[in-house]
Amino acid sequence: MNQKRQRTATQSDGTSLVNGFTIGVVVAVVIGAMMIFTIRSGSENAEVETGFTETAPVEVVGTPLSDFDANITDPEIGNPAPSLVGVDFNGNESQVETTGSPQAVLFVAHWCPHCQNEVPVVRALRASGTWPADVKLTTIATSTSSTQNNYPPSAWLAREGLTVLSDTVLVDSESGDALHAYGGSGFPYWVFLDASGNVVMRSSGELGEQAIKGIVDTLAG
């Protein structure tokens, strides 16, 4: 289960869905990729009493995605993302799995300034009603560390409203099992899935309102 798939250099780089993005969206994605905030090591001492579950074990079901590299054509486009089984901040079971609806999976780290910029943008899109109803939003709090700023993530995302506005909330393990299973390499990290749970697009770095809206609208068809 933990062995990554081998890919050929000739694999298709996507579907008409990706090819249909506007030039403005593509430019925004490129800019966002340039704003990557790389993962910090060390989630030591992440378990500090907050009244909420800030990290927890995550079970990965299926084949993990390869590490994302913005400099190459993504070999995972069209491949199924693994399911994730864990808990939310309240300790209730939470799963990221194929739902029959497109999904936007957002990985955020509480200490990352680019995540702190992106989260209010996502909140505004969700709260305004302009986010397509059939595109689900999953927010995953990852790379949590009590020694970094803006801790704990439960309080941050509650203030921002994403614990309510997200369809699914998952807390990652101290070792980042969920992030690594989706090939994350920086923050914020987006993985967009079609209704069958296949990867449509991955992006590392801030996308911004225009790009996010364009992608989720395209997912909704």
Predicted local confidence at residue 51, as pLDDT: 85
End-to-end CA distance of the chain: 33
Which residues does the chain have with pLDDT short of 70? 1-49
Contact 63, 4 (CB under 8 A): yes
The range of the structural domain enclosing residue 133 comes to 16-220
3 found inside a domain:
no
Q: How many CB atoms lie within 10 A of CB 111?
A: 20
CA gap 54, 191 in Å, rounded: 22
Looking at the structure of the chain, the number of domains it has is 1
pTM of the model: 0.81
97 found inside a domain:
yes
6 found inside a domain:
no
96 found inside a domain:
yes
Predicted local confidence at residue 48, as pLDDT: 54
2 found inside a domain:
no
CA gap 122, 128 in Å, rounded: 10
Task: Choose among 86, 107, 110: nearest CA to 96.
Answer: 86
CATH of the domain at 103: 3.40.30.10
